[in-house]
Amino acid sequence: MITKNLEIDETFLAGKLLRDGKLVAFPTETVYGLGARADSDNSIKRIFDVKGRPSFNPLIVHVASIRMAKDIAIFDKQTLKLINKLWPGPITFVVPLKNDHNISKFVTAGLDSVAIRFPKSTIAQQILLSAGVPIAAPSANLSGRISPTSASEVFEDLGGKINAILDGGPCEVGVESTIIKTDPITLLRPGVISPEDIRHITGTEVFLSHEDASITAPGQLKSHYAPKAPVRLNVHNPEPNEVLLGFGDVGNATLNLSPSANLSEAAKNLFYMLRKLDQALSKDDFKVIAVSPIPKIGIGLAINDRLKRASAPRY
Ligand code: TXA
Ligand code: MG
């Protein structure tokens, strides 16, 4: 089932499907998520199955309120300050699980911490409210591939394998949520909410996680978000075997993330355009996706992070 022009009935139905243990893909302000009841071992196992996701890579639990989050995990003073300012929104917090939580151990990959997010998207909120239970939702792509920012991209990867896909149009932000681990506050994944935004609220330093900090961020794999074609970064003059994904006023781009060099627009277009170029490359002789340099400021940090993973050697 794919729905267009979402009505309240459809989000209500999606919530009911989730409550019944089914798998439903739905839009959030960042990317589309593949949702399932976070308290159901069986539903969560199906998520790992259909995505082909390694079981050691834990999922983000999505909630419809701060109260719901507090039923699951422990929030220290500083984190409470952050969630009060930044939720609902495109930021996830990795916090200690409470003793009496009912989250499936498959969600957390057996860790004693849990990643939680209260999304801002109205459609996502309506679905979560209708479900009435915490919903685990990784990005709705096959594992290791590019996150989807539209319903048709979800369909390309997961069509026929899941119970429903809700079409809420293109995602507003376009890259996944910022992930913060608390105590001490550490950035695990850059997103639209920046370390500076966090520093402003807490007045304290934000640590950056190391590239190979495999314990704190099991999912921060070096090669990720990968198109099938190789990717080369910071390119001014593409080689004859390359197509250029441009940024700013470049004349020779096949697609341009933002001709006016607007980083928010570039983030919104990034995954969609990488997919489009990848599909085109599989049909003709061009072999490599070359990408213009993108400033490493604001959401440009998140864009460069995703591009770096897309261009990393595959194992
Ligand atoms: O914007 C988003 O966050 C989207 C939408 C759907 O909400 N979701 C998303 O989920 O990007 P996913 O599964 O693609 O990424 C979740 C990341 C993984 O890198 C995983 O390793 C990390 O969260 N994560 C989850 N639980 C963790 C934990 N306890 N400790 C450290 N990292 C954790
Ligand atoms: Mg993902």
What is the rounded distance in angstroms from the CA atom of residue 254 to the CA atom of residue 273?
10
Residue 143 CA, ligand 2 centroid: distance in Å: 7
Q: What per-residue confidence (pLDDT) applies to 226?
A: 73
pTM for the whole thing? 0.94
For the chain, give the percent of residues with pLDDT over 90: 85
Q: Which ligand is nearest to the CA of 137?
A: 1
Give strand pairing partners of 92: 179
Dihedral sign of CA atoms 65, 69, 70, 72 in order = positive
- Protein residues whose CB sits closer than 6 Å to any atom of ligand 1: 28, 30-31, 33, 57-60, 92, 94, 108, 111, 113-115, 117, 137-139, 176-177, 179, 188, 216-220
Quick: pLDDT tens for 205-259. Answer: 999 986 444 444 444 556 666 788 899 999 999 999 999 999 999 989 999 999 9
Which of these CATH numbers, 3.10.110.10, 3.40.50.300, 2.60.40.1180, 3.90.870.10, describes 2-174?
3.90.870.10
Quick: pLDDT tens for 157-206. Answer: 999 999 999 999 999 999 999 999 999 999 999 999 999 999 999 999 99
**Where is pLDDT greater, at 263 or 217?**
263
Domain ranges for the chain: 2-174, 231-310
**Where is pLDDT greater, at 216 or 141?**
141
Q: Can you tell me the mean pLDDT for 285-303?
A: 92
Residue 227 CA, ligand 2 centroid: distance in Å: 13
What is the rounded distance in angstroms from the CA atom of residue 26 to the CA atom of residue 11?
9
pLDDT of 27 above 60? yes
Our mutation pick for probing the ligand 1 site, out of 92, 135, 141, 193, counting the most ligand atoms within 8 A of Cβ, is 92
Task: Output the residue whose Cα is nearest ligand 1's atom 15.
Answer: 138
**Which region among 128-142, 151-165, 256-270, 278-292 has the lowest average model confidence (pLDDT)?**
278-292
Return the residue matching tokens 């004859």: 240
Q: What per-residue confidence (pLDDT) applies to 3?
A: 53
Q: What per-residue confidence (pLDDT) applies to 4?
A: 54
Give strand pairing partners of 179: 92, 189
Q: What per-residue confidence (pLDDT) applies to 215?
A: 41
Residue 136 CA, ligand 1 centroid: distance in Å: 10
What is the rounded distance in angstroms from the CA atom of residue 113 to the CA atom of residue 231?
34
Task: Output the residue whose Cα is nearest ligand 1's atom 13.
Answer: 138
Q: Would you call 256 exposed, middle or buried from its count of C-beta atoms within 10 A (0-12, 13-18, 19+)?
A: buried
- Please tell me the CATH code under which domain 231-310 is placed: 3.40.50.11030
